[in-house]
Amino acid sequence: MKQLSVFIENREGRLFDVLRILGENDINIISLSLADTNDYGMLRMIVSKPQVALSILRDCGLSATLTQILAIKLPHESGSLGRALAAINDAGINIEYMYGLCADGDEAVLAIKTSDVAQAAKLLKRAGIEQWQM
Amino acid sequence: MSRDEMTVLQNYRLTNTVNHVYHNVEFYRHKMQKIGLLPSDIKTIDDLTKLPFTTKEDLRDTYPYGLFAVPISEIVRIHASTGTTGKQTVVGYTRRDISTWSECVARSLTMTGVGKGDTILVAYGYGLFTGGLGLHYGAEHLGACVIPIATGSTKRLTTMMVDLEATAIACTPSYLLHVAEVLEAEGLLGKLKIKAAICGAEPWSEAMRLQIEEKLGINAFDIYGLSEVLGPGVACDCIHHQGLHIYEDYFLSEVISEQSQTPVAAGETGELVFTTLAKEGIPLIRYRTKDLTDITYEPCECGRTTARIGRFKGRSDDMLIIRGVNVFPSQIEAALIEMGTTLPHYVMEIDRVGTLDVLELKVEVEERYFSDEIRKLEGLTRQIEKTIREAIGLSIKVKLVEPRTIERSTGKAKRVIDKRKLM
């Protein structure tokens, strides 16, 4: 799954600007996560039209990029995340970051960025973990 | 010494210096020959304007020894300072030059009331920078007790200041203000024996000088110098603080208009130009300091008859003096380019946080540097910080900003925002 990442300086109104641009161009934000440091923030989003969103944001002068991530479905059960991650952990694959994507019905969906996305996808599939589709 | 007597001495020493460089420095011989000038054409200081200028670029272009007027075997000391492209320029001193320098610093210290029986903390950097060793030798020459504490731990400095009952300190003015704050916080202000501070190596204002005096209950003096000409001790102010007395028997000074390159009238502001009158290692003819000031020949209230230069009004180039270190924006640019990636847009912001100068470099994040992993962006930040630190010898803070947020200009790019208020 493609994730849209945007570099945002810690300045008043910058996050709003990004949201406004996306809204005006009819791009739906399915999920987002905002990581912050002293000087800047990193807005990571799953959007309805990632490729279109990317070019619009770039045209507006923002530093944006598309990143391959994994969106996995997990049942609402204790231990389900640990079991899922055991598969990639055993293979020595690092998790760069992760965040909750959405949680509807009986399942939660998590976004995971790993050091080796293709390999992680294969291992998760083998462990019976399903990928979430938009 | 009366002005007439000074002029006689200057005439004699100038003709000697011109002869010395003509016969021993190819650079000057060529320059003079090109304009059909012989040493014998220079008879008095009134002929000075016939001579060509020397610039920092000349020192760089002739690096390392091109302007040396004596064989290296006669040189006993080398100092160096940074240049516009990050390349150092080196200066050499003969045994007599070191003695001249010590004399000039000793005169400056005498003017500040420091002498035998005093204990002086020299808290300038020791090494290639002329501040530390310059003050050190001058104070020793005077018979004062020198504590070569150099730069580093402020805690150690304040401890020694109190325990050893130091009576004077030499350091940069911004650092002294910082020291004063530390002393205040430690409740040590009442335990000081310090009576004078000899500050230099960076521009400061009269208000800041008064602030230091008030805070520490001392007299603060402004010492001026530049390594090309000698080092600290080219000029210093006296207790009346009405400009800095130039040691005119060693340095012939002019103030010129930057545009016409001709001398301005006394009292008018222009670029300060020095001709050394007794230097052996690197005698300099009409060296352009790029420092903007004015000069007066009126006798001072203190009784000294030497010419005095006013407070510096800035520089004619884009050089910045940060924590006593010369920094050129072009050095930063060169370092960024050398990282293998071109960063076309950056801006330097200098501010005084508390009393210390802080340099922040804002760099735009461009597509090719962009990563959505914060770890990688922080790595990039640290890499830039390290590269710049190695290039300019100062630690800086790098801040990544969004593309196109740094103001573009149609003419010369504005790379520097100096927010420091010379209080």
- Name residue B198's beta-bridge partners: B170, B221
Angle between helices B154-163 and B173-185 (to 10 degrees): 70
Whether residues A79 and A31 share a domain: the answer is: no
Q: Which residue of A has its CA nearest to B381?
A: A39
Q: Which residue of B has its CA nearest to A97?
A: B373
pLDDT at residue B79, rounded to an integer: 95
Whether residues A60 and A77 share a domain: the answer is: no
Nearest to B384 by CA among B374, B371, B395: B395
Candidate from B372, B399, B404 with C-beta closest to A42: B372
Q: Is residue A132 part of a domain?
A: no
The number of beta carbons lying within 10 Å of the beta carbon of residue B75 is 20
Q: Which residue of A has its CA nearest to B405?
A: A61
> Does the distance separating the beta carbons of A14 and B372 come in below 8 Å?
no
Give the dihedral of Cα atoms B160, B161, B163, B164; nearest 10 deg. Answer: 90
- Counting the structural domains of chain A, the total is 2
Cβ neighbours of residue B163 closer than 8 Å, sequence gap 6 or more: none
Give the 3-state secondary structure of residue B46.
helix
Give per-residue pLDDT as tens, B43-60: 999 999 999 999 988 998
Whether residues A15 and A62 share a domain: the answer is: yes
Q: Is residue A33 part of a domain?
A: yes
Q: If you write DSSP's letter for every residue of B216-263 in order, what string do you get?
A: HTSEEEEEEEETTTTEEEEEEE-TT-SSEEE-TTTEEEEEE-TTT-SB
- Distance separating the N- and C-terminal Cα atoms of chain A: 9
Nearest to B168 by CA among B190, B186, B193: B193
Residues from chain A that touch B402, judged by Cβ atoms under 8 A, are: 7-9, 14, 61-63
Candidate from B367, B373, B401 with C-beta closest to A96: B373
**Residue B372 CA neighbour count, 13 Å, CB half:** 23
Candidate from A37, A39, A63 with C-beta closest to B403: A63
> Does the distance separating the beta carbons of A63 and B366 come in below 8 Å?
yes
Give the 3-state secondary structure of residue A82.
helix
Whether residues A10 and A41 share a domain: the answer is: yes
- Name residue B169's beta-bridge partners: B121, B197
Give the whole-angstrom CA distance, residue B60 versus residue B64.
8
Average pLDDT of chain A is: 89
Cα angle B205, B207, B211 (rounded to 5 degrees) comes to 120
> Does the distance separating the beta carbons of A113 and B400 come in below 8 Å?
no
Whether residues A79 and A60 share a domain: the answer is: no
CATH number, span B322-418: 3.30.300.30
Give per-residue pLDDT as tens, A82-97: 988 888 888 899 999 9
Give the 3-state secondary structure of residue B79.
strand
Q: Would you call B4 an interface residue with chain A, using a CB distance cutoff of 8 Å?
A: no
Whether residues A59 and A109 share a domain: the answer is: no
Chain B: give the shortest CA distance to residue A7, in Å: 7
Q: Is residue A53 part of a domain?
A: yes
Chain A: give the shortest CA distance to residue B363, in Å: 12
Cβ pair B231, B250 in contact under 8 A: no
Chain A: give the shortest CA distance to residue B406, in Å: 12
pLDDT at residue B84, rounded to an integer: 47
Which residue's structure tokens are 């390392």? B64
Whether residues A75 and A93 share a domain: the answer is: yes
Give the whole-angstrom CA distance, residue B246 versus residue B233.
9
Whether residues A62 and A20 share a domain: the answer is: yes
Which residues of chain B does CATH 3.30.300.30 include?
322-418
ipTM given for this complex: 0.77
- Ranges of residues in chain B with a pLDDT under 70 are 82-87, 314, 330, 340-345, 407-414, 421-423
Cβ pair B353, B420 in contact under 8 A: no
Q: Is A52 exposed, middle or buried (0-12, 13-18, 19+ CB in 10 A)?
A: middle
Chain A: give the shortest CA distance to residue B377, in Å: 10
pLDDT at residue B108, rounded to an integer: 97
pLDDT at residue B371, rounded to an integer: 82
Give per-residue pLDDT as tens, B331-380: 777 777 777 654 556 788 888 877 788 889 888 877 777 788 888 888 88
Whether residues A35 and A82 share a domain: the answer is: no
Give per-residue pLDDT as tens, B238-280: 999 999 999 999 999 999 998 899 999 988 989 999 999 999 9
Cβ neighbours of residue B22 closer than 8 Å, sequence gap 6 or more: B28, B29, B32, B38, B39
Candidate from A35, A61, A65 with C-beta closest to B404: A61
- Ranges of residues in chain A with a pLDDT under 50 are none
pLDDT at residue B422, rounded to an integer: 58
Whether residues A21 and A50 share a domain: the answer is: yes
Q: Is residue A133 part of a domain?
A: no
> What pTM was computed for the model?
0.67
Which of the listed CATH numbers 3.40.50.12780, 3.40.50.1100, 1.10.3470.10, 2.40.170.20 matches domain B76-316? 3.40.50.12780
Mutate: best of A18, A54, A63, partner B, most B CBs <10 A: A63
State the sign of the Cα–Cα–Cα–Cα dihedral B282, B284, B288, B292.
positive
Whether residues A77 and A110 share a domain: the answer is: yes
Candidate from B371, B374, B401 with C-beta closest to A35: B374
Q: Please identify, among A25, A41, A67, the residue that sits at the C-terminal boundary of a domain.
A: A67
Give the whole-angstrom CA distance, residue B422 versus residue B173.
11
Chain B: give the shortest CA distance to residue A114, in Å: 11
Query: Residue A37's domain spans which residues?
Result: 2-67
Q: Please identify, among A38, A67, A96, the residue that sits at the C-terminal boundary of a domain.
A: A67
The number of beta carbons lying within 10 Å of the beta carbon of residue B270 is 23
Whether residues A54 and A100 share a domain: the answer is: no
Mutate: best of B347, B362, B377, B402, partner A, most A CBs <10 A: B402
User: For residue A89, what is the domain's CATH number?
Assistant: 3.30.2130.10
Chain A: give the shortest CA distance to residue B371, in Å: 8
> Does the distance separating the beta carbons of B378 and A7 come in below 8 Å?
no
> Does the distance separating the beta carbons of A8 and B402 come in below 8 Å?
yes
Mutate: best of B363, B371, B372, partner A, most A CBs <10 A: B372
